[in-house]
Structure 1
Amino acid sequence: MKFEVTILGSSSATPIFNRNPTAQVLNLNERLYLIDCSEGTQLQMLRFEIKASRIDYIFISHLHGDHYLGLVGLLSSMHLNGRTRPLKIFGPPALKEIVDIQFKYSETVIQYPLEFVATDGTKAEVILDNQDVVVETIPLDHRIATTGFLFKQKKRLRKLIKAKVESLEIPVDLYPTLKKGAPYTAPDGTVYANNELTVDSERPKCYAYCSDTLYNEQYFDQIRHADLLYHEATFLHNMLDRANKTHHTTAWQAGQVAIKTEAKSLLIGHFSARYKSLNELLDEAKSVFPETELAIEGKTYPVGHDLI
Structure 2
Amino acid sequence: MFSVTILGNNSAIPTLDRHPTAQVVTCNDQLLLIDCGEGTQLQITKYKIRRSKIRYIFISHMHGDHYFGLIGLVNTLNLMGRTEPLSIYAPPELEQIIQLQLDCSGTILKFELSFIPLLPDYQGLILEDKDLRVTCFPTQHRISCFGFSFELQKRKRKLIPDQARAYEIPAAYFSRLQEGADYQRKDGTQVKNDWVTLPPGPGKRYVYCADTIYDVNLLPWLEGADLMYHETTYLHDLHERAAERYHSTSVQAASLAATAGVKKLLIGHFSSKYTELQPFLEESRPVFANTDIAEEGVTFLV
For residue 256 of structure 1, what is the aligned residue in structure 2? 255
Q: Structure 1 counterpart of 2:85, which letter?
A: P
Q: Which deviates more from structure 2 when the two are superposed, residues 121-130 or residues 33-42?
A: 121-130
What's 1:208 paired with?
A: 207
Kept in 2: contact 1:17–1:276 (CA 8 A): no
The corresponding residue for 1:47 is 46
| 1:141 equivalent in structure 2 | 140
Residue aligned with 1:117, SS: strand
- CA deviations over 1:118-151 (Å, ceiling 9, x no partner): 0023131211111111111120111111001111
| 1:216-255 aligned within 5 A | 216-255=215-254
| TM-score, normalised with respect to structure 1 | 0.89
In the other structure, the counterpart of 2:29 is 30
Residue matched to 1:113: 112
| Structure 1: distance between partners of 2:220 and 2:259 | 9
Structure 1 segment 1-308 matched on structure 2, within 5 A = 2-158=1-157, 168=170, 170=172, 175-176=175-176, 178-188=177-187, 203-303=202-302
User: 1:277 offset after TM fit, Å?
Assistant: 0.9
1:30, 1:136 → 2: CA distance?
Answer: 20
Aligned partners of 2:207, 2:2: CA distance in 1, in Å? Answer: 13
User: How big is the shift at 1:183?
Assistant: 4.5
Percent of counterpart pairs with the same letter?
A: 44
State the alpha-carbon separation in 2 of the partners of residues 31 and 57 from structure 1: 9
Please state how far the C-alpha of 1:197 moved relative to its aligned partner.
Answer: 7.5
- Deviations 1:41-71, CA, capped at 9 Å, x for gaps: 1111111110110001000001111100000
What are structure 1's unaligned runs of at least 5 residues? 304-308
CA distance in 1, matches of 2:95, 2:236: 36
Distance 1:73 1:17, change over 3 A: closer
> Post-superposition shift, 1:196?
9.7
In 1, Cα distance between equivalents of 2:40 and 2:72: 9
SS state at 2:135 partner = strand
Secondary structure at the counterpart of residue 25 of structure 1: strand
Give the deviation of 1:184 after TM superposition: 2.6
Kept in 1, the 8 Å contact 2:153–2:202? The answer is no
Residue identity in the other structure for 1:16:
T
Mapped to 1, the partners of 2:180 and 2:96 lie a distance apart of 48
CA deviation string 1:18-55 (max 9, x = no partner) = 01110000001121000000111111111111011000
Matched residues in 2 for 1:60 and 1:192: separation?
48
Equivalenced residue count is: 298
AA matched with 1:66 = D
Aligned equivalents of 2:133 and 2:170: distance in 1? 37
Alpha-carbon deviation of 1:190?
A: 7.5
Unaligned runs of 5+ in 2: none
Contact 1:121 1:140 survives alignment (8 Å): no
1:104 Cα deviation (Å)? 1.1
In the alignment, which residue of structure 2 is the partner of 1:306?
none
